[in-house]
Amino acid sequence: MTLIRWFLFVVVLLALPAQAADVVYPAGSRIGLVPAPGLSVSKAFLGFEERDKRVAFVIVPLPAGAFDDIAQSSTPELLLKQGVTLESREDLSHPLGKALLLIGRQELENVPLRKWILAVATSDVTVLVTAQIPETAEAAYPEAAVRAALLSVAVRAASPIEEQLSLVPFRMSELAGFKVGGVMAGRAIMLTDGPSSATAPGIDTHMVVAIAPGAPSQASERESFARDVFANIPNLKDVRINSSEGLRIGGQQGHQIMASGRDGASGQDITIVQWLRFGGSAYLHLIGVAPKDGWTQAYARFRKVRDGIEVR
């Protein structure tokens, strides 16, 4: 999905800048704001809400270069295709950088809404915040309050590791020297050595840990299931499975696949390990990828991470 399409998808869901001490950051988020009265941090998405009134302020971090795509695609015609009738568009100067504020109306699930969309360009992230205010809640959320909350948006250098780890449904007692590269709340975390520079060649050793619903109940079906899951790993080329076998992981039934191939973007030779740990109606999915010439050390680190995971 292109950045433009992603932006338009997010749309279906911004006075003076406030003091930094008033900014509230949802757990694990670098982006926060001063919530309008009545709002609290959402447990269902990244942002703030007043559930009874169906009011939501949704935060979406995007790559730094996404701002220009958003600005170019925010035409009345394109927004209308997404069901948003644009009422006003403002180019703003924000302490974080150039900003764009869109205000319009939309109907979602037969509920008429006032829709606000704020995009702000910073040096390393594009901040996207959308606010949806049902017509029935507009008296409680007047324009001045919504605008003040949105324009109070702030970005911190990093979110604490503890916050990021709290967003996934498993405990990790060992990171094996990796840093957190990204989190999908309630589902997955990516660990990485991180790029040494923006133009560094090749790939970095990295690992993805996720939990997913569904798993075969019969032991005889687990290998074919593991191979099917492995076949869906993106960004791999010329993959050859070297071994596929069952084993116990953390005291539970599991399966391991060892493979080699090439990185889809750089073409670099890589080695891959996949572990599945079965339990009840869900399974733990671990993928470790490293350059072929650094595999031995990387594999030891992957195992440390694997053996330090406990499902909450």
CATH number assigned to the domain comprising residue 25: 3.40.1000.10
Query: What does the pLDDT average to over 101-114?
Result: 94
Q: Report the pLDDT value the prediction gives residue 38, as an integer from 0 to 100.
A: 95
Residue 201 — very low, low, confident or very high, per pLDDT cuts 50/70/90? low
174 shares a domain with 116: no
The answer to whether residues 304 and 179 belong to one domain is yes
Looking at the fold, whether 81 and 225 belong to one and the same domain comes out as no
134/170 same-domain check: no
User: Do residues 141 and 179 share a domain?
Assistant: no
What confidence score (pLDDT) does residue 217 get? 79
Domain closes at, from 155, 170, 186? 155
Residues 174 and 302 in one domain: yes
Instruction: Band the pLDDT of 202: cuts 50, 70, 90.
Output: low
Using the predicted structure, report yes or no on whether residue 299 has a pLDDT greater than 60.
yes
pLDDT for the residue 167: 83
Q: Which domain holds residue 292?
A: 161-311
121 & 195 share domain: no
Query: Looking at the structure, do residues 137 and 202 belong to the same domain, yes or no?
Result: no
On whether both 38 and 105 belong to a single domain, the answer is yes
Last residue of a domain, one of 155, 184, 216: 155
CA–CA gap between residue 35 and residue 272 (Å, rounded): 44
- 268 and 251 housed in the same domain: yes
Judge if 24 and 110 occupy the same domain. yes
**Among 19-28, 154-163, 186-195, 302-311, the range of highest mean pLDDT:** 302-311
Q: Are residues 133 and 274 in the same domain?
A: no
Final residue of a structural domain among 114, 134, 155 = 155
Q: What percent of the chain has pLDDT over 90?
A: 69
| Residue 186 vs residue 267, higher pLDDT | 267
Residue 184, pLDDT > 90, answer: no
The per-residue pLDDT for 13 is 38
- 218-239 mean pLDDT: 93
- The string of pLDDT tens digits covering residues 251-298 is 899 999 999 999 988 899 999 999 999 987 889 999 999 999 999 999
Q: How many domains does the chain have?
A: 2
* Confidence (pLDDT) at 162: 87
